[in-house]
A and B are shown apart, each in its own frame.
Chain A
Amino acid sequence: MELVLGLVFGVIFGSILTLAKVIRYEKQVSAVLLKDMTIIKFMFSAVVVGSIGVNVLYQMGLINLHLKPMMIGAIVVGGILFGLGWAMTGYCPGTSVAALAEGRVHALFAILGMLVGSMIFANLYPYLKPIIEFGNLGKITIYQYFNVSPYIIIVILAIFAIGIFYFFETKKL
């Protein structure tokens, strides 16, 4: 059941990503060159809608959260390395798989690189623990950190999203 659900949801997710064109190298590189904000529009829309549903379901006690810990050292160092790699490949892990399926043969080398990168990380993991544990604040949400209701954060997020969408559309980005 778990595996069937994973496959079905993956097919739907992959189809939406492909039809919205966010899997393309052009869209990802153009976004970080600040020329075409398609993927930002896509991500923010998804996050605003998803955060409402996820938080309502959680407050009703119908689902659990799987928060990733706020590890300042690991996220900053990892994030910088990720950004370098993302600018070079033009793909993140999910989009590389979809781009290969869309016939972008060069994405295969990105996937091979990601497998090698994962292997290197797994083998260096014991030595990386000092970075991983540096500045670890544990599993914490934005609203817990600021001690407010989650819905206040969602409203701020939505207002921010609408603001940047308006900016992107007037600038034709």
Chain B
Amino acid sequence: MKERVLNPYIGGILVGILAILIVYLTTVLIGDTKFLGTSTTFVKMAGLIEKFFVHDISNQYYDKVKLTIDWQFMFVIGIFLGALISSILSGSFRIELVPPIFRERFGNNFILRAVFAFIGGIFVAFGARLADGCPSGHGLSGMMQLSLGSLLAVIVFFSSAIIFANLIYRSRR
């Protein structure tokens, strides 16, 4: 089936409009301006899982972010549902174990890909929490507010990823 494609410029403009609607409608309807973001929700999930196993944890950071199901938590669940529905309807849904670029460089090795994804995921979340945001929170919401910290974050995110990606994926011949 041919996949329906959304031009990245149109997609970006739609997300820009969506972000404006989010800040305006949340202010009008909830009385508090919400900006889109995702990485704090990972802390909440991690905290809820940790609390399930260790009941009486005292943790300053979990107290700071508050382990509750909030606006952003539902937003992340929404991302999953939206991606599921639209990928099925557009025909892009496909079970994939090893992505092509990884396969070209390291072979069709699912275990190795899983290890890379897992260890990389640890750095992603740790780095995002330290920098206080990810490409959604800093890259989209922070940049739209013209935040100086977000500009620095986006520059460092990309510069670092460009260096490490070239070390990882460009094989020396």
Contacts and interface: CB of A to CB of B under 8 A. Distances in A.
Interface of A: 1-26, 29-30, 32-34, 38-39, 41-51, 53-55, 57-58, 62-72, 74-94, 96-107, 109-123, 125-126, 128, 131-132, 137, 139-145, 150, 153-154, 165
Nearest to B37: A94
Interface residues of B, number: 134
A10 B147 contact: no
Nearest to B47: A122
B169 A33 contact: yes
B60 to A, nearest CB: 6
A87 B81 contact: no
Interface in B104-131: 110, 113-131
A67 B4 CA distance: 36
B69 to A, nearest CB: 7
Contacts of B4: 19
A150 B89 CA distance: 40
> Which 5 pairs show the lowest CB-CB distances between chains A and B?
A10-B78, A113-B121, A83-B160, A45-B12, A49-B16
A131 B127 CA distance: 12
B156 to A, nearest CB: 3
Contacts of A109: 113-115, 117-118, 121
30 contacts: A1-B30, A2-B70, A6-B74, A7-B75, A10-B76, A20-B6, A23-B83, A29-B101, A32-B161, A39-B8, A42-B8, A50-B15, A58-B145, A65-B145, A71-B149, A75-B149, A82-B156, A83-B162, A87-B165, A94-B134, A101-B81, A109-B118, A110-B120, A114-B124, A121-B125, A122-B61, A125-B59, A126-B60, A140-B147, A142-B146
Contacts of B158: 32, 83
A9 B75 contact: yes
Contacts of A117: 42, 121-126, 129
Contacts of B81: 7, 10-11, 14, 101
Contact of A128 (B19, B30, B102, B130): B130
Interface string B34-66: 111011011101110110000000011110000
Contacts of A99: 83
Given A19-B5, A121-B125, A5 B85 contact: no
B74 to A, nearest CB: 3
Contact of A20 (B7, B21, B130): B7
Contact of B126 (A4, A75, A81): A81
A97 B117 contact: no
A47 B158 CA distance: 16
A106 B114 contact: yes
B18 A10 contact: no
A79 B160 contact: yes
Nearest to A11: B82
